[in-house]
Amino acid sequence: MVVSVIERSVMVANRLGLHARPAAEFVKIASKFEADIKVSRDNMEVNGKSILGVMTLAAECGSTLVLQANGGDAEAAVEELAAMLATDFAEEI
Amino acid sequence: MNHERVIKGLGVSPGITVGPVYVMRAELPAITHRVISRDEVTDEVERLHQAIEVVGKQLEGLRQHTLDRAGVEEAKIFGAQIAMLKDEHFLGEVETLVRENLLTAERAFEFESLELRELWAQSSSATLQQRVSDLAGIQTRVLHALLGQSLEDVLHGAGDRPVIVVARELTPGLTVQLEQGKVTGLASEFGARTSHAAILARSLEIPCVMGLVGGIDRIHSGVDALLDGTRGVLLLDPTEEEIKEAYGREGLRIRLGRELEAVVDRAARTKDGSNVILRGNVDLPEEIESAIEHGAEGVGLFRTEFLVVGRTQLPGEDEQASFFERIGTRFAPHPVVIRSYDLGGDKFPAAFRTAPEANPFLGWRAIRVCLDQPDIMRTQIRAILRARASADVRLMLPLVTQIEEVMRTRELIGEAVEQLQKDGVPIGTDLPVGVMVETPAAAMMVEQLSECADFLSVGTNDLTQYTLAVDRGNARLADRFTPLHPAVVRLLKRVVDCGVRRGKDVSVCGEMASEPLSTLLLLGLGYRVLSSSPGALPLVRWLIRQVEIEATERAAAAALAASTNDEVTEALEHAMGEYVDLDLLEAGRLPVS
């Protein structure tokens, strides 16, 4: 298995930021992958498969997150997570 | 009124209710410290997982209950809570504490969750602070499950009469568990509009007041109270008269609400057929959808400061361009007026920062910073030019006092157009440039400014502040900050006359465009484009549909002849009274929070 580390910066597009419900969605996607996933903002880094960690980043709309995946499916993981963050999955409330 | 009886907070779910109070003291269970032996570790970990299972089922039940009673979006709150409960990383840490430090499951769980609560409560993000009560709700449930206690019926002992529940903190789980019919209102010390419990209270249509700071220790179960979720007040021992007054006001509010709702999709046209264009002011990205829902025909003031605040670097051209394009396309075919950074020198990231100033409002800020550090302006200009390739975005300059500032900006635009074209980047070359008239200098030079600008927009808050030499942030001067001062009225007249004469678009994008009396004045002076915060748009639209231009013109003429604030206000109130029930209008005025 080829192990690769993929890193990418993404701007959070959801107008309400990456709060509870979108964070749950993010973690659900991250957990599909084998790769270890780290998310960081400024000086804080958290486990991308932990909703409590992702929520702790308090990433509001317009903030930039760095995704880092390490493992066989790292590229696909970063691809899908970046696409999710770049979408304004607008919610009603 | 006896002020001991009034406890003020923040109205987060509107409506009025009267009844006995039930003070709920749901505290976290006390955990005794106990160390386990190595042999017990496996059982202890198993106990933790069983408790998580039990609470998972409870939350799933609440999710289903909320789905039935409130809706899909509201139910997602519990979906997220279940994910928080089952967070493997978090549970892994708890397990480690059990295995390595030989703590009991409840002690380990409490330790980890307290640490997280602390971290969230201290966060600079208001949203994350609001999520602390979600965490507390989960924590309480897990600890109860581990201790073999069931979360007792919270209303046990509240009696048969429906009650107003008062708690230190309302968790989402608690809010939906409270049976409708048994609970007519909610109040708490902690929490704000964006708390999940507040969102749920609004969709369940239960009046709710939060932020009763330090108030609940004065309240005892059984005392009668009036809860006003519209104004954010809990009134103890209300008199018959107070109850009647509150319901009367509430009735008017509901009536006005219905009238506003009925005209949301209708044209902002006066009774005698004059059309007004209503745009929204957008401060934050989350207001975009709100502006659209409230019928905004474009954005009259898109503030870009949120892009900078709290960041270590200025946002780059690509980021701004994609953002501007997104908002521009969202409002198509209407325009979006983007204002260049309106910030003081101390608000920019470190590289551009300067020492604090003695008079920041008269200092190095807004257009002055952007032109003195032209790279800041160039980046915004290039981003807007690129967005204009696909959307009607326009540029507006804040705090203009000199013609040269507009000329210099135009030079920068010319250079940027040339460079971008040379690089083959798609742009819209015909970028309209507008001037914000918010200083007496700009209002006096409006003829000359309109020769080099494509449109004018009056920022009434700053125009008032600079004309009257009154700091609008100074509480001692609050009653001197009067946008209806005759001097301001005259300047407003000067600007609109010039725009009309020269055929330039002229609008108002300050708070005056959302205050009923001022709206009437602006119409009478000749303004036909108003931009206000999204929430104020329905009231402004409704108001415009009630009045006749001819009467507003008479009122404006009287206001122009007035020599005091009171005379201006009287002239406007007189005209307003001819068309609108003033009590009804008053009922629509929410307290400033």
Task: Check if A3 contacts B (Cβ < 8 Å).
Answer: no
Residues of B in contact with A93 (CB under 8 A): 73-74, 199, 203
Which of B3-7, B255-259, B420-424: highest mean pLDDT?
A: B420-424
The verdict on a CB contact (< 8 Å) between A52 and B116 is yes
- B156, pLDDT greater than 70: no
Residue B456: pLDDT over 80: yes
Candidates B76, B119, B134; nearest CB to A56: B119
List of chain B residues whose C-beta atoms are within 8 Å of the C-beta of residue A90: 289
Residues in Cβ contact with B501 at an 8 Å cutoff, skipping those fewer than 6 apart: none
The average pLDDT across B111-124 equals 87
pLDDT surpasses 70 at B292: yes
Query: Measured in whole angstroms, how far is the alpha carbon of residue B66 from the centre of its chain?
Result: 26
CA-CA distances (angstroms) from residue B160 to B18, B181, B185, B236? Answer: 15, 10, 15, 20
Q: Which residue has the tokens 């209300």?
A: B238
Q: In the numeric block, which tokens belong to residue B545?
A: 């549909």
B278: which strand partners? B530
Percentage of chain B exceeding pLDDT 90 = 56
Picking from B88, B76, B140, the residue whose alpha carbon sits closest to that of residue B113 is B140
Q: How far apart are CA B494 and CA B439, in angstroms?
A: 13
Model confidence at B347: pLDDT above 90: no
pLDDT at B158: 59
Q: Do the Cβ atoms of B79 and A21 come within 8 Å?
A: yes
Global model pTM greater than 0.95: no
Question: Does residue B133 or residue B317 have the better pLDDT?
Answer: B317
Q: How far apart are CA A18 and CA B168, in angstroms?
A: 27
| pLDDT over threshold 50, residue B593 | no
Q: Which residue of B has its CA nearest to A60?
A: B125
Q: Is B148 exposed, middle or buried (0-12, 13-18, 19+ CB in 10 A)?
A: exposed
Residue B327 has pLDDT above 50, yes or no: yes
Taking 90 as the threshold, does the pLDDT of residue B161 lie above it? no
User: Could A58 and B127 be called an inter-chain contact, meaning their C-beta atoms sit closer than 8 Å?
Assistant: yes
Instruction: Compute the average pLDDT of residues B94-117.
Output: 91
- Judging by DSSP bridges, how do beta strands A64-71 and A4-11 pair with one another? antiparallel
Cis peptide before B333 (omega within 30 of 0): yes
Q: For residues B161 and B222, is the Cβ–Cβ distance under 8 A?
A: no
Check residues B141 and B227 and name the one with the higher pLDDT. B227
Is B169 within 8 Å of B176 (Cβ atoms)?
no
Residues 6-45 of A with CB under 8 A from B: 11, 13, 15-17, 19-21, 23-24, 27-28, 42
- Whether residue B307 and residue A20 make contact (CB cut-off 8 A), yes or no, is no
DSSP string, A11-77: E---TT-S-HHHHHHHHHHHHTSSSEEEEEETTEEEETT-HHHHHHT---TT-EEEEEEEETTHHHH
Q: What is the pLDDT of residue B590?
A: 55
B591: pLDDT strictly greater than 50? no
Whole-number Å distance between alpha carbons of B502 and B283: 30
Q: What is the pLDDT of residues B392-403, one digit of tens each?
A: 999 999 999 999
B574-581 contact pairs (CB < 8 A, 24+) = B575/B520, B575/B524, B575/B547, B575/B551, B576/B516, B576/B517, B576/B520, B576/B547, B578/B551, B579/B271, B579/B546, B579/B547, B579/B548, B579/B551, B580/B516, B580/B543, B580/B546, B580/B547
- Check if the beta carbon of residue B178 is closer than 8 Å to that of residue B22: no
Residue tagged 């030019």 (tokens): B385
Which B residues in the span 480-539 are in contact with A, Cβ-Cβ below 8 Å? Answer: none
Least confident of A21-30, B196-205, B517-526: B196-205
Summarised one tens digit per residue, pLDDT across range A1-20 is 556 788 998 888 877 788 88
Query: Which among A25, A37, A38, A51 is the top mutation candidate for probing chain B, defined by the most B β-carbons within 10 Å of its own β-carbon?
Result: A51
pLDDT at B333 > cutoff 80: yes
Q: What is the tens place of the pLDDT at every residue in B29-79?
A: 777 777 888 898 999 999 999 999 999 998 998 898 888 887 888 888 898
Q: Say which of A23, A24, A49 has its CB closest to residue B88.
A: A49
B120 CA: distance to closest CA in chain A (Å): 7
For residue B547, which amino acid is it?
V
User: Could you tell me where the DSSP H helices lie in B11-104?
Assistant: 41-69, 72-85, 88-101
> In which order are the strands placed within the sheet that holds B16-24?
B6-8, B233-236, B224-228, B16-24, B163-167, B183-188, B208-210, B10-13
Euclidean distance between CA atoms A77 and B81, whole angstroms: 24
pLDDT at B108 over 90: yes
B558 vs B130 pLDDT, higher one: B558
Give the nearest chain A residue to B287 (CA atoms). Answer: A15
B525, amino acid identity: L
Q: CA of A28, closest CA in chain B: separation in Å?
A: 9
Confidence band, pLDDT 50/70/90 cuts, at residue B345: low
- Least confident piece of the model among B140-144, B465-469, B551-555, B564-568: B140-144
- What pLDDT score does B86 carry? 93
Active-site residues of A, by number, are 19
Question: Using CA atoms, how far apart are residues B359 and B338, in angstroms rounded to an integer?
Answer: 26
Mean pLDDT, rounded, of chain B: 89
Which residue in A11, A20, A62 is closest to B80 by CB distance? A20
Out of A13, A20, A88, name the one closest to residue B131 (CB). Answer: A20
The sheet that has A4-11: what strands, in order across it? A4-11, A64-71, A36-41, A44-47
> Are residues A52 and B84, on separate chains, in Cβ contact within 8 Å?
yes
Q: Which residues of B touch A20 (CB under 8 A)?
A: 77, 80-81, 84, 131, 134, 196
- In A, minimum Cα distance to B89 occurs at A50
Q: Are B320 and B307 in contact (CB under 8 A)?
A: yes
Instruction: Give CA–CA dist B464/B330, Å, rounded.
Output: 32
pLDDT interval class at A69 (50, 70, 90): very high
Q: How confident is the model at residue B190 (pLDDT cuts 50, 70, 90)?
A: confident
Please report the sign of the dihedral spanned by the C-alpha atoms of residue B545, residue B546, residue B551, residue B552: negative
Identify which of B134, B286, B307 has the shortest CB distance to residue A20. B134
Token pair belonging to B144: 């109860």
CB contacts < 8 Å between A and B, how many? 87
At residue B97, the pLDDT reads 92
- Give the residues across from B187 on adjacent strands: B166, B209
Q: Is the pLDDT of residue A91 over 50?
A: no
**Residues forming beta bridges with residue A44, ordered by sequence position:** A41
DSSP secondary structure letter of residue B592: P
Interface contact A20-B84, CB threshold 8 A? yes
Q: How confident is the model at residue B91 (pLDDT cuts 50, 70, 90)?
A: very high
